[in-house]
Amino acid sequence: MPTAATLRLEIERSLQHRFPSALTPEQRTVCEVAPTGIAEVDVLLDGGLPVGAISEITGAQSSGRTSLALAFLAQRTRDGQVCAWVDVSDALDPESAAASGVALTRLLWVRCRDAGAVVKGKPWSRLDQAVRATDLLLQAGGFAAIVLDVGDTAPEHASRIPLATWFRFRQAAHRARTCMVVLGQDAYAQSSAAAVLECRQGREAVAGETVLGGLRFEVVRQRQRSPQMRTAGKKPPASAWPARGAWDVVKRA
C-alpha cells in the first residue's frame, strides 16, 4: 500500500504541468517601511510604518496621535515626497504642521466642509466627503503618504465606514505604494490595517512650579503584521503584542 509521501509525490507530478503553482508556497517578501521620524516609535515598529498598507493611530484628544502623524509627514516631505492630509473636521493647524517640520509646499490639505458636495439632491456629510476624497487620492497615486483624520468624529459614526471600503483602500494603497495613516479615537479598518498604534498622554515636564517644559507621550503597538516573521516560519513572541514605547515633545516658545 503506497505511503502518504508516495501519494503526495504522484499528485504533484500529475498537477505540475496543468497547475504549475498549485502546490508552490506563496513567496514572502520583506516588508518595506518608512521611518516616522521618532526613534522610539521606529524601534517599536521594527523600522517604521509599512509602505503600501494602512496604519491606524488611535487615542483620545491630546494623546499624541496628531504629533506622531505630523512627525511622519515631516520625514516624508523632507525626503522630497508629496503627501496629503484629508481633514474631516477641518482641524489641522498649518503653523503647528510647519513647526513640526512638514514642508507645506509638498502637502495637499483636503478640508471637508458642511456645505460640501451634493449627490442626488442631498448634501454629503463631512465623513462622506473625506472617504470619497481619500478614494480619489489613492486611485490617482503619486502620494507617499495620505493621512485620513477622523479623530474628532464620534466612533459610532466613523465605525459605519463599510469594511468593503477599507478593503478597497488597502488594495489601492498597495498598488500605489502609499502609506495610508488613519487617525481616530478607535480602530476602524479591522483586518485591513497592517499596524495599529494606541497613543496615550504621559506625564508633563515642568520647569520650576508653573512653567510647562514639555510633554511625554506613550504608544502601544496593538497589532502589526510582520512578513519577516512569516518568512522565517516563526510566530512572534508573546511579548510582541502589545509592545510599548514613549517619546518626549519639548514645548516650543
Residue 10 in domain: no
* Res 8: pLDDT: 74
Label residue 189 exposed, middle or buried (CB < 10 Å: 0-12, 13-18, 19+).
buried
Highest-confidence segment of 62-66, 175-179, 229-233, 237-241:
175-179
Q: Assess whether pLDDT exceeds 90 at residue 99.
A: yes
* Res 214: pLDDT: 62
**CA 82 to CA 225: how far, in whole Å?**
26
Residue 18 in domain: no
Residue 121 lies in domain: 27-248
**CA 79 to CA 48: how far, in whole Å?**
15
Which one, of 243, 248, 250, lies nearest residue 217 by Cα? 248
Percent of the chain past pLDDT 70, that is, above it, reads 72
Residue 13 in domain: no
Which one, of 19, 24, 51, lies nearest residue 174 by Cα? 51
- Specify the higher pLDDT residue, 246 or 77: 77
Instruction: Give 252's pLDDT tier (boundaries 50, 70, 90).
Output: very low
Residue 114 in domain: yes
Q: Assess whether pLDDT exceeds 50 at residue 43.
A: yes
Supply the DSSP symbol for 65.
H
Residue 5 in domain: no
* Res 27: pLDDT: 54
How many domains does the structure of the chain reveal?
1
Supply the DSSP symbol for 125.
P
* Res 238: pLDDT: 32
Mean pLDDT calculated for residue range 21-34: 65
Q: What is the pLDDT of residues 54-65, one digit of tens each?
A: 999 999 988 999
Query: How many residues comprise the chain?
Result: 253
* Res 67: pLDDT: 92
* Res 244: pLDDT: 62
Q: Assess whether pLDDT exceeds 70 at residue 88.
A: yes
Residue 218 in domain: yes
Q: Residues 6 or more apart from 20 whose CB is under 8 A from it? A: none
Residue 15 in domain: no
Q: Assess whether pLDDT exceeds 60 at residue 94.
A: yes
**CA 124 to CA 131: how far, in whole Å?**
11
Containing H/E element for 174? helix 163-176
The CATH code of the domain that includes 113 is 3.40.50.300
Q: Residues 6 or more apart from 179 whose CB is under 8 A from it? A: 34, 49, 50, 51, 52, 53, 55, 72, 76, 144, 145, 146, 173
**CA 181 to CA 49: how far, in whole Å?**
9
Residue 20 in domain: no
